[in-house]
Amino acid sequence: MLPNSDRDGQSRSFIEEARRAQIVTAAVETIAEVGYHRASMGRIGTRAGISRGLISYHFAGKSELISQVITTVYSDAAAFMTPVIDAEATPAGQLRAYIGSNLEYMRAYPARMVAIVEILTGGGLADLPDADPAEFDRQMLLPLEQLFAAGQASGEFRDFDVTVMARIVRSAIDLVPTALSRDPDLDIDRYLREITTALDHATRPVPSTSEET
Protein backbone atom coordinates (compact mmCIF):
# COMPACT_ATOMS: atom_id res chain seq x y z
CA MET A 1 0.00 0.00 0.00
CA LEU A 2 1.27 3.47 -0.81
CA PRO A 3 2.22 5.64 2.17
CA ASN A 4 -0.32 8.28 1.26
CA SER A 5 -3.23 5.91 0.74
CA ASP A 6 -5.84 4.90 3.29
CA ARG A 7 -7.25 1.43 3.92
CA ASP A 8 -9.56 1.69 0.90
CA GLY A 9 -6.71 2.68 -1.39
CA GLN A 10 -7.97 6.25 -1.72
CA SER A 11 -5.42 9.05 -1.82
CA ARG A 12 -5.26 11.15 1.34
CA SER A 13 -5.02 14.91 1.19
CA PHE A 14 -2.13 16.94 2.57
CA ILE A 15 -4.36 18.05 5.45
CA GLU A 16 -5.24 14.45 6.28
CA GLU A 17 -1.57 13.47 6.22
CA ALA A 18 -0.75 16.37 8.52
CA ARG A 19 -3.53 15.36 10.90
CA ARG A 20 -2.31 11.77 10.98
CA ALA A 21 1.23 12.98 11.71
CA GLN A 22 -0.14 15.14 14.52
CA ILE A 23 -1.92 12.14 16.03
CA VAL A 24 1.19 9.96 15.74
CA THR A 25 3.25 12.64 17.51
CA ALA A 26 0.65 12.88 20.27
CA ALA A 27 0.65 9.10 20.62
CA VAL A 28 4.45 9.05 20.94
CA GLU A 29 4.43 11.76 23.60
CA THR A 30 1.59 10.15 25.53
CA ILE A 31 3.15 6.68 25.52
CA ALA A 32 6.51 8.13 26.58
CA GLU A 33 4.83 9.94 29.47
CA VAL A 34 2.32 7.42 30.84
CA GLY A 35 3.35 4.08 29.29
CA TYR A 36 1.86 1.91 26.56
CA HIS A 37 -1.09 0.46 28.46
CA ARG A 38 -2.22 3.78 29.96
CA ALA A 39 -2.02 5.61 26.63
CA SER A 40 -5.70 5.44 25.76
CA MET A 41 -7.15 6.96 22.63
CA GLY A 42 -8.80 9.55 24.86
CA ARG A 43 -5.50 10.61 26.40
CA ILE A 44 -3.87 10.76 22.97
CA GLY A 45 -6.73 12.89 21.65
CA THR A 46 -6.44 15.28 24.59
CA ARG A 47 -2.73 15.77 23.96
CA ALA A 48 -3.37 16.31 20.25
CA GLY A 49 -6.18 18.73 21.02
CA ILE A 50 -8.73 16.73 19.05
CA SER A 51 -11.62 14.43 19.84
CA ARG A 52 -11.33 10.67 20.09
CA GLY A 53 -13.83 10.48 17.24
CA LEU A 54 -11.52 12.41 14.96
CA ILE A 55 -8.71 9.98 15.77
CA SER A 56 -11.05 7.14 14.81
CA TYR A 57 -11.64 8.84 11.46
CA HIS A 58 -7.91 8.54 10.67
CA PHE A 59 -7.10 5.29 12.49
CA ALA A 60 -9.44 2.33 12.89
CA GLY A 61 -8.24 1.70 16.44
CA LYS A 62 -5.31 1.79 18.80
CA SER A 63 -3.60 -1.14 17.10
CA GLU A 64 -3.50 0.66 13.75
CA LEU A 65 -2.22 3.82 15.43
CA ILE A 66 0.52 1.92 17.27
CA SER A 67 1.49 0.21 14.02
CA GLN A 68 1.91 3.64 12.43
CA VAL A 69 3.96 4.87 15.39
CA ILE A 70 6.36 1.93 14.98
CA THR A 71 6.57 2.43 11.22
CA THR A 72 7.19 6.16 11.56
CA VAL A 73 9.91 5.86 14.19
CA TYR A 74 11.84 3.08 12.48
CA SER A 75 11.53 4.63 9.02
CA ASP A 76 12.75 7.99 10.29
CA ALA A 77 15.58 6.35 12.23
CA ALA A 78 16.68 4.44 9.12
CA ALA A 79 16.64 7.64 7.04
CA PHE A 80 18.71 9.36 9.75
CA MET A 81 21.26 6.56 10.14
CA THR A 82 21.74 5.19 6.62
CA PRO A 83 23.71 8.12 5.09
CA VAL A 84 26.05 8.15 8.09
CA ILE A 85 26.69 4.41 7.83
CA ASP A 86 27.05 4.44 4.05
CA ALA A 87 29.68 7.20 4.28
CA GLU A 88 32.06 4.72 5.93
CA ALA A 89 34.19 2.55 3.66
CA THR A 90 34.97 -0.33 6.05
CA PRO A 91 32.81 -2.67 8.15
CA ALA A 92 34.59 -1.48 11.31
CA GLY A 93 33.80 2.13 10.41
CA GLN A 94 30.22 1.20 9.58
CA LEU A 95 29.81 -0.50 12.96
CA ARG A 96 30.98 2.65 14.75
CA ALA A 97 28.66 4.73 12.55
CA TYR A 98 25.74 2.36 13.24
CA ILE A 99 26.18 2.74 16.98
CA GLY A 100 26.91 6.46 16.82
CA SER A 101 24.04 7.42 14.52
CA ASN A 102 21.63 5.26 16.52
CA LEU A 103 22.50 7.03 19.74
CA GLU A 104 22.45 10.42 18.03
CA TYR A 105 18.92 9.69 16.86
CA MET A 106 18.01 8.87 20.46
CA ARG A 107 19.53 12.17 21.55
CA ALA A 108 17.50 14.05 18.93
CA TYR A 109 14.21 12.20 19.55
CA PRO A 110 14.21 10.84 23.11
CA ALA A 111 10.41 10.61 23.39
CA ARG A 112 10.22 8.44 20.29
CA MET A 113 12.72 5.97 21.68
CA VAL A 114 11.10 5.83 25.11
CA ALA A 115 7.74 5.23 23.41
CA ILE A 116 9.16 2.39 21.32
CA VAL A 117 10.60 0.73 24.42
CA GLU A 118 7.24 1.08 26.17
CA ILE A 119 5.45 -0.48 23.19
CA LEU A 120 7.85 -3.40 22.82
CA THR A 121 8.20 -4.19 26.53
CA GLY A 122 4.47 -3.70 27.07
CA GLY A 123 3.52 -6.36 24.54
CA GLY A 124 2.56 -3.89 21.85
CA LEU A 125 3.62 -6.11 18.98
CA ALA A 126 1.39 -8.91 20.24
CA ASP A 127 -1.56 -6.50 20.11
CA LEU A 128 -1.05 -5.85 16.40
CA PRO A 129 -3.07 -8.33 14.31
CA ASP A 130 -0.62 -8.48 11.40
CA ALA A 131 2.61 -8.22 13.38
CA ASP A 132 5.11 -11.08 13.51
CA PRO A 133 7.46 -10.54 16.48
CA ALA A 134 9.90 -13.13 15.17
CA GLU A 135 10.12 -11.42 11.77
CA PHE A 136 10.45 -8.02 13.45
CA ASP A 137 13.37 -9.37 15.48
CA ARG A 138 14.97 -10.86 12.36
CA GLN A 139 14.73 -7.58 10.46
CA MET A 140 16.31 -5.70 13.37
CA LEU A 141 19.30 -8.05 13.44
CA LEU A 142 19.82 -8.55 9.70
CA PRO A 143 21.79 -5.35 8.92
CA LEU A 144 24.21 -6.06 11.75
CA GLU A 145 24.57 -9.70 10.77
CA GLN A 146 25.45 -8.64 7.22
CA LEU A 147 27.89 -6.02 8.49
CA PHE A 148 29.64 -8.54 10.74
CA ALA A 149 29.83 -11.14 7.97
CA ALA A 150 31.45 -8.56 5.66
CA GLY A 151 33.94 -7.63 8.37
CA GLN A 152 34.86 -11.26 8.94
CA ALA A 153 35.32 -11.79 5.21
CA SER A 154 37.66 -8.78 5.00
CA GLY A 155 39.61 -9.83 8.10
CA GLU A 156 38.58 -6.77 10.13
CA PHE A 157 36.56 -8.83 12.60
CA ARG A 158 37.45 -12.04 14.40
CA ASP A 159 35.45 -15.22 13.92
CA PHE A 160 32.27 -15.14 16.00
CA ASP A 161 28.57 -15.95 15.70
CA VAL A 162 27.16 -12.96 13.83
CA THR A 163 23.64 -13.39 15.21
CA VAL A 164 24.82 -13.52 18.82
CA MET A 165 27.01 -10.45 18.31
CA ALA A 166 24.15 -8.62 16.60
CA ARG A 167 21.96 -9.30 19.64
CA ILE A 168 24.70 -8.01 21.94
CA VAL A 169 24.93 -4.77 19.96
CA ARG A 170 21.17 -4.27 19.89
CA SER A 171 20.88 -5.03 23.60
CA ALA A 172 23.54 -2.46 24.47
CA ILE A 173 21.88 0.19 22.30
CA ASP A 174 18.35 -0.62 23.41
CA LEU A 175 19.25 -0.07 27.06
CA VAL A 176 19.80 3.63 26.36
CA PRO A 177 16.12 4.63 25.86
CA THR A 178 15.23 2.97 29.16
CA ALA A 179 18.01 4.91 30.86
CA LEU A 180 16.79 8.07 29.11
CA SER A 181 13.28 7.54 30.48
CA ARG A 182 14.73 7.55 34.00
CA ASP A 183 17.24 10.35 33.45
CA PRO A 184 16.45 12.96 30.77
CA ASP A 185 19.95 14.41 31.29
CA LEU A 186 21.65 11.12 30.48
CA ASP A 187 25.22 11.52 29.22
CA ILE A 188 24.77 9.88 25.82
CA ASP A 189 28.32 10.74 24.79
CA ARG A 190 29.63 8.56 27.62
CA TYR A 191 27.37 5.69 26.56
CA LEU A 192 28.56 6.09 22.98
CA ARG A 193 32.23 5.96 24.01
CA GLU A 194 31.81 2.91 26.22
CA ILE A 195 29.60 0.92 23.82
CA THR A 196 31.90 1.68 20.89
CA THR A 197 35.02 0.76 22.86
CA ALA A 198 33.47 -2.47 24.15
CA LEU A 199 32.40 -3.54 20.67
CA ASP A 200 35.79 -2.66 19.22
CA HIS A 201 37.45 -5.00 21.72
CA ALA A 202 34.78 -7.67 21.20
CA THR A 203 35.08 -7.77 17.40
CA ARG A 204 38.75 -7.08 16.63
CA PRO A 205 40.84 -9.98 15.30
CA VAL A 206 42.75 -12.03 17.87
CA PRO A 207 46.51 -11.73 17.30
CA SER A 208 48.18 -14.98 16.40
CA THR A 209 50.88 -16.44 18.66
CA SER A 210 53.57 -15.47 16.16
CA GLU A 211 52.35 -11.84 16.19
CA GLU A 212 52.47 -11.69 19.99
CA THR A 213 56.09 -12.89 20.21
d(CA 49, CA 33): 16
Read off the pLDDT of each residue in 1-15 and give the average, rounded to a whole number. 53
Structural domain range at position 186: 62-203
CATH number for 171:
1.10.357.10
**Tens of pLDDT, residues 117-142:** 899 888 888 878 777 888 888 999 99
Residue 35 lies in a domain: no
Per-residue model confidence (pLDDT) at position 178: 84
Q: How many CA atoms lie within 13 A of 99 on its CB side?
A: 27
Read off the pLDDT of each residue in 138-167 and give the average, rounded to a whole number. 96
C-beta separation of 99 from 169 below 8 A:
yes
d(CA 36, CA 168): 25
Per-residue model confidence (pLDDT) at position 126: 80
**Tens of pLDDT, residues 76-108:** 999 999 999 999 999 999 999 999 999 999 999
Residue 48 lies in a domain: no
Residue 181 lies in a domain: yes
Residue 95 lies in a domain: yes
Residue 26 lies in a domain: no
Domain count, the chain: 1
Residue 74 lies in a domain: yes
Which amino acid is it at 118? E
Q: What is the mean pLDDT of the chain?
A: 89
Residue 9 lies in a domain: no
